[in-house]
Homo-oligomer: A and B are copies of this chain.
Amino acid sequence: MVHSSKILDCTIRDGGLVNNWDFSVEFVQDLYNGLSEAGVEYMEIGYKNSARLLNAKEPNPWRFLDDNFLKEIIPEKKFTKLSALVDIGRVDPKDILPREQSVLDMIRVACYVREVDKGLELVQMFHDLGYETSINIMALSSVPEHQLIEAMEMVKESPVDVVYIVDSFGSLDPAGIEHQVKKFKSLLPNKQLGIHTHNNMQLAFANTLMAYQNGVTFLDSSVYGMGRAAGNCNTELLVSYIQKSSYEMRPVLGIIEKHMVEMRQKWEWGYIIPYMISGVLNEHPRVAMAYRNSDERDQFVDFYDKVTTPEATLATASK
């Protein structure tokens, strides 16, 4: 199958949720150059949230992207376009330059379905500044149908370019993805769709393929799968799979070899049993992430017992 799909690599943005964005400038530059050589269309270089609004005490250049800093480290754009993600209530409109003055090409807005109106206000602003835009509806696997339908009525009327299906909990299977894609297509016949998956049940790549085969055009991925908890669909798999003369796997292998094997030894992401369990249970991985940071990290049976006993879940979550 050959159609106009695009890969959006979110190694820095979603991977930063693993290591608190502890990425060297050299790594980010190597990633940008490698993705450009590989023919990957977009790279999400971080969050464009406001340090002030988040009361951040420490500098964190990939979490609070600054246009001057970006121009310094990427003085010359290559093939790959750059995107940034923002969260509702955490972005300061004053921080956003018009697109022609920025290195960024696209701004994506993450939101839960209940705050889609606020998300669309941001989309409108970024659109008016000249950016490509997306709205990424998180935690889709636990959204009631009627809420989704209402939200999509608003989305349909907005200027947003891409609407993302986000399997935040890594709990959907290919059949579930196909169902969601068909629903989104019927609700939003005038919009491009995107897919963002998590690998809790080792289905991130298969789910992304299913979306692609059903006409979804924006495919999120991360090199070596680096992303929160179980991580994302692997960029190297997408690049090797999609029959498109412009993609090259070799530069992505170079990034993995030079940086990511070592990073994976230092930081943890991927198919790990507590994340698998939270995916199966259709729950946010935060309880599992806390468990992996505790002394009981490998006590899988105990973890399973805790999260399948409601009172105990609350106790662990509030630790």
Interchain CB contact under 8 A, B174 and A209: yes
A69 proximal to B (CB < 8 A): no
Of residues 207 through 230 on chain A, the ones whose CB sits less than 8 Å from some CB of chain B are 207, 209-210, 213
A47 proximal to B (CB < 8 A): no
Interchain CB contact under 8 A, B236 and A276: yes
Interchain CB contact under 8 A, A202 and B201: no
A206 proximal to B (CB < 8 A): yes
Question: Could you tell me the distance in whole angstroms from the C-beta of A255 to the nearest C-beta in chain B?
Answer: 10
Residues of B within 8 A of A158 (CB): none
Which single member of B173, B261, B300 contacts A241 (CB below 8 Å)?
B173
Of residues 129 through 144 on chain A, the ones whose CB sits less than 8 Å from some CB of chain B are none
Interchain CB contact under 8 A, B174 and A210: yes
A28 proximal to B (CB < 8 A): no
A244 proximal to B (CB < 8 A): no
A2 proximal to B (CB < 8 A): no
**Closest chain B residue to A253 by CB distance?**
B300
A237 proximal to B (CB < 8 A): yes
1/0 contact string of A297-319 vs chain B (CB within 8 Å): 01111001100000000000000
Question: Could you tell me the distance in whole angstroms from the C-beta of A222 to the nearest C-beta in chain B?
Answer: 13
Which single member of B204, B276, B298, B299 contacts A202 (CB below 8 Å)?
B204
Interchain CB contact under 8 A, B205 and A201: yes
Assuming the contacts A213-B175, A236-B273, A237-B201, asked whether A256 and B206 have C-beta atoms less than 8 A apart, the reply is no
**Closest chain B residue to A206 by CB distance?**
B206
A249 proximal to B (CB < 8 A): yes
A100 proximal to B (CB < 8 A): no
A250 proximal to B (CB < 8 A): yes
Residues of B within 8 A of A257 (CB): 273, 298-301
Assuming the contacts A203-B205, A237-B276, A298-B257, asked whether A250 and B174 have C-beta atoms less than 8 A apart, the reply is no
**Closest chain B residue to A209 by CB distance?**
B173
Interchain CB contact under 8 A, B298 and A261: yes
A234 to B272, CA, bound (A): 12
Of residues 245 through 303 on chain A, the ones whose CB sits less than 8 Å from some CB of chain B are 249-250, 253-254, 256-257, 261, 271, 273, 276-277, 280, 298-301
Chain A residues at the B interface, C-beta cutoff of 8 Å: 173-175, 199, 201-207, 209-210, 213, 234, 236-237, 240-241, 249-250, 253-254, 256-257, 261, 271, 273, 276-277, 280, 298-301, 304-305
